[in-house]
Chains A and B, each alone.
Chain A
Amino acid sequence: MTVQAPVLPAAPADAPPARLIAGRPRLLEDRSTHYCPGCGHGVVHRLVAEVLDELGVAGRTIAVAAVGCAVFAYDYLHVDFVEAQHGRAPAVATGIRRVRPDHFVLTYQGDGDLAAIGTAEIVHAAARGERITTIFVNNGTYGMTGGQLAPTSLLGQRTSSTPLGRDARLNGYPIPITEMLALAPGTAYAARGSVATPSTIGRTKAMIRRACETQIEGLGFSIVEVLSNCPVGWGMTPVESIAHLAEVAETYPLGVLVDRGAEG
């Protein structure tokens, strides 16, 4: 049986208004998403929608969607979007930035897109100090294609292409891509957050906001990596997958890696 959408009980006409504490952001389209139950993409989409609205840049935002589970980001975020080839979003964003100097440009990429096929593009966007902001959702797997090994998968992690678990000798080590990018002088802000808890989600939103401000201030390239979960790819329930993020954070510690704006 289907459930009726709950209706708030009627209140007296002179009842004072409730205070709105939290709700659907204006820039998040009011529609069901294709993401799996519990998938962290939904949380990150919300945070991006909130920050773009709070900073007042949504009307001049041109976003670049990458190839991965979030290829449909343009169906959910209420801004102009262009779809890039797999891995090439930072280059596509560079092309936009160079001909639209007054617009706000961001990319939204997963770990396979950014740290495997797209490594050259993200490194050189950072090296050029390209004034773009990259939202990097790291769930340690290729979710869209069925949960294969990703460059950020943990040692020992069982994936559909490492059925016996990631072995350093055969499959290499998880790549610390954001730490590598933080070394580049062109990287003005690099941070790593997580969707693990309400607290980390709040801090991640602050990181995303700071990254966007870095772009607006013209300081250079900015990136926020968000440790996210993939319940289906990891073979866990949503709640279990959120708990697993604590183990992911041992390989990929949370925090601000570089903030050249704050260094002054």
Chain B
Amino acid sequence: MIATSVPSRPPAAARNAERRVLLKGNEALAEAAIQAGCDAYFGYPITPQAELLEWMARRMPEEGRAFVQAESEIGAISMALGAAAAGARVLVSTSSPGFSLMAEGMSYLAGSELPVVLVDVMRGGPGLGSIGPAQSDYLAAVKGHGHGDYRVPVLAPASIAEGMVLMADAFEIAERYRTPVILLADGILGQAMEPVVPTYRMPPRTDGDWVLSGADGRPPRVVKSLHLRPEALEAHNQHLQAKFSEIAAREVRWETERLDGAEIGVVAYGVAARVARTAVGRARDAGLAAGLFRPISLWPFPSAALAEAASRLRAVLVVELSAGQMVEDARLAIEGRAPVFFHGRTGGMVPSPSEVVGALRRAWAQTEPRGGTR
């Protein structure tokens, strides 16, 4: 069951690599995982990602792989823990309330150093909230989510096409570093349909000497996160921190658009970046020298790159579908090099490009060009 053979050709709708095809975000992410060699999927119905679960329910048995609709998101993350400990390439998906339930599981995955890819299709909160799109799980995701000293790589696609690419990258990062990886999407990305040239990739397998495969002919192995002696747990934490430092040095991703020569930069990720891109274009048309800085890895956050960019900007505007979460990391990275403004919407509301342009104008009006007054 583990190390499955090359998957069968994906369904007709996604098969033709020569032409663009219309794909729904949730389904595209699911198929990308299957084509990346996902051995097992565990999930629970929750809007707005139920289509991902349903796609897996149909396709995983077709490929002879494991699919379980669990009794809860806690069940799902726990099944993922077991399957990963047994050496499988595992995907879990959920939305924000389910993501909250997975916090303890994430902590165990990190402490036990198990590779699992977890897709969170964010929706409005807090609590039951709404089923509209949001980016209000940012702090939970990038600060590790569960208890204890750890971080989890977080990748944030801004399009369905990018999501499919990042899905394969997520499995690779998870296995290279023995860590859970979060793919942070939102309700728009999950529900939208976009024309895509499907890009699939199956990262190579690496057989770890920690995988539970039965102790026949070798000493038994234990996958655990319990280290009762303080000295032992401190040593384990130091090992984890060294790993996070390595990830921080090697897995930072971001993209800039029209930032060269810009005076004011918009920092946004995911669907907010799509809105910001349009706003930047309209601002430029109106004579405002705006540009876009788009983090793709939210952890490790592209702090150095953002600090460097901010040192040449008169102002930074952070746009999120939240009350302000990534803006905290942006401010930390920028460290006063430029004033930081924020524009956000909550509850499933999506900022419009004209709102963002308005926020850009206000930031412009309240700041001076670099190098003195006009």
Residues of chain A touching chain B, judged by Cβ–Cβ distance below 8 Å, are 58-62, 64-65, 71, 74, 78-85, 88, 91-101, 103-104, 120-121, 123-124, 128
Residue of B nearest to A67 (CB): B226
A91 to B92, CA, bound (A): 14
Instruction: Say yes or no for B66: interface residue by CB 8 A criterion.
Output: yes
Question: Which residues of chain B are near A98, meaning CB under 8 Å?
Answer: 1, 40, 66, 68, 79, 83
Interface string of B40-64 (1 = CB under 8 A from A): 1010000000000000000000000
Q: Which of B2, B213, B217, B224 contacts A74 (CB 8 A)?
A: B224
Q: A82-B223, A83-B225 are in contact. Are A91 and B86 (CB under 8 A)?
A: no
Q: Which of B1, B75, B217 contacts A99 (CB 8 A)?
A: B1
Question: Which residues of chain B are near A92, meaning CB under 8 Å?
Answer: 78-79, 81-82, 85
A103 to B216, CA, bound (A): 11
Q: A94–B2 contact, CB under 8 A?
A: no
Q: Measured between C-beta atoms, what is the minimum distance from B235 to chain A in Å?
A: 18
Q: Measured between C-beta atoms, what is the minimum distance from A77 to chain B in Å?
A: 8
Question: Which residues of chain B are near A104, meaning CB under 8 Å?
Answer: 214
Q: A85–B71 contact, CB under 8 A?
A: no
A103 to B66, CA, bound (A): 15
A93 to B217, CA, bound (A): 22
Q: Which of A64, A88, A100 contacts B2 (CB 8 A)?
A: A100
Q: A80–B224 contact, CB under 8 A?
A: no
A85 to B85, CA, bound (A): 13
Question: Which residues of chain A are near B213, meaning CB under 8 Å?
Answer: 62, 80, 100, 103
Q: Measured between C-beta atoms, what is the minimum distance from B174 to chain A in Å?
A: 15
A3 to B37, CA, bound (A): 60
Question: Which residues of chain A are near B212, meaning CB under 8 Å?
Answer: 62, 80-82, 96
A191 to B222, CA, bound (A): 29
Q: Measured between C-beta atoms, what is the minimum distance from B286 to chain A in Å?
A: 54
Question: Which residues of chain A are near B74, meaning CB under 8 Å?
Answer: 88, 91, 120-121
A-B contact count (CB 8 A): 145
Q: Measured between C-beta atoms, what is the minimum distance from A30 to chain B in Å?
A: 14
A208 to B85, CA, bound (A): 25
Q: A71-B226, A74-B222, A124-B71 are in contact. Are A84 and B40 (CB under 8 A)?
A: no
Question: Which residues of chain A are near B216, meaning CB under 8 Å?
Answer: 58-60
Instruction: Say yes or no for B194: interface residue by CB 8 A criterion.
Output: no
Instruction: Say yes or no for B287: interface residue by CB 8 A criterion.
Output: no
User: Which one of A91, A96, A100, A128 has the highest number of Cβ atoms from chain B below 10 Å of its Cβ?
Assistant: A91
Q: Measured between C-beta atoms, what is the minimum distance from B89 to chain A in Å?
A: 9
User: Which one of B2, B42, B86, B90 has the highest number of Cβ atoms from chain A below 10 Å of its Cβ?
Assistant: B86
A167 to B201, CA, bound (A): 60
A128 to B216, CA, bound (A): 29
Q: A83-B112, A84-B81, A121-B75 are in contact. Are A95 and B226 (CB under 8 A)?
A: no
A82 to B112, CA, bound (A): 9
A74 to B255, CA, bound (A): 47
Q: Measured between C-beta atoms, what is the minimum distance from B203 to chain A in Å?
A: 18
Instruction: Say yes or no for B80: interface residue by CB 8 A criterion.
Output: yes
Instruction: Say yes or no for B70: interface residue by CB 8 A criterion.
Output: yes
Q: A62-B86, A85-B105, A98-B66 are in contact. Are A103 and B225 (CB under 8 A)?
A: no
Given contacts A82-B222, A99-B66, A121-B78, 10 further A-B contacts (CB under 8 A): A64-B82, A80-B215, A81-B223, A84-B78, A88-B74, A92-B85, A95-B78, A98-B79, A121-B75, A124-B70
Q: Measured between C-beta atoms, what is the minimum distance from A25 to chain B in Å?
A: 15
Q: Measured between C-beta atoms, what is the minimum distance from A136 to chain B in Å?
A: 18
Q: Measured between C-beta atoms, what is the minimum distance from B43 to chain A in Å?
A: 12
A92 to B78, CA, bound (A): 5
Question: Which residues of chain B are near A61, meaning CB under 8 Å?
Answer: 214-215
Question: Which residues of chain B are near A58, meaning CB under 8 Å?
Answer: 215-216
Q: Measured between C-beta atoms, what is the minimum distance from A60 to chain B in Å?
A: 4
Q: A61-B215, A62-B212, A85-B104 are in contact. Are A120 and B39 (CB under 8 A)?
A: no
A103 to B88, CA, bound (A): 14
Q: A91–B224 contact, CB under 8 A?
A: no
User: Which one of A88, A92, A101 has the highest number of Cβ atoms from chain B below 10 Å of its Cβ?
Assistant: A92
Question: Which residues of chain A are near B87, meaning CB under 8 Å?
Answer: 99
Instruction: Say yes or no for B72: interface residue by CB 8 A criterion.
Output: yes
Q: A81-B224, A88-B74 are in contact. Are A93 and B82 (CB under 8 A)?
A: yes
User: Which one of B84, B104, B214, B224 has the highest number of Cβ atoms from chain A below 10 Å of its Cβ?
Assistant: B214
Residue of B nearest to A102 (CB): B1
Residue of B nearest to A58 (CB): B215
Q: A96–B86 contact, CB under 8 A?
A: yes
Question: Which residues of chain B are near A101, meaning CB under 8 Å?
Answer: 1
A103 to B82, CA, bound (A): 13
Question: Which residues of chain B are near A82, meaning CB under 8 Å?
Answer: 81-82, 85-86, 112, 212, 222-224
Q: A83–B1 contact, CB under 8 A?
A: no
Q: Measured between C-beta atoms, what is the minimum distance from B278 to chain A in Å?
A: 43
